Amino acid sequence: MSLDSRKPDTRTAMHQLIAEVRAAIPFDAPASQVCSGECNGCAMKLLEYLDGELSAWEQRLEAGETPHFGDLSRLGNTSRKVHVALKRNGLIPQDRAG
């Protein structure tokens, strides 16, 4: 089996990453939920920033741009960091095992 048949190209991988992030992050959470209680980094600003990054890549992909592995890595790392911050702010439930 060749490598090409096992791993997606970077355009497909970026589409998949964007879909996974959009499914995991509560972009549609009401402002009253986002900005309630103790704040460990501004959740609203983090959501806006990450949504902007995802939207920019969606537009770039639509325009035919092909991302590099570094682009995938940066977006993945940014998404993970925002996810962790949102967990600390209580917007994403804590894992019971972790």
State the DSSP string of 10-77.
Answer: HHHHHHHHHHHHHHHS-TT--HHHHT-S--SS-HHHHHHHHHHHHHHHHHHHHTT----HHHHHHHHH
Rounded average pLDDT over 19-37: 83
Band of pLDDT at residue 6, cut at 50, 70 and 90? confident
**Tens digit of pLDDT for each residue in 32-73?**
677 766 666 788 889 999 999 999 999 999 999 999 999 999
With CA atoms as reference, report the closest residue to 23 among 69, 48, 1, 54. 54
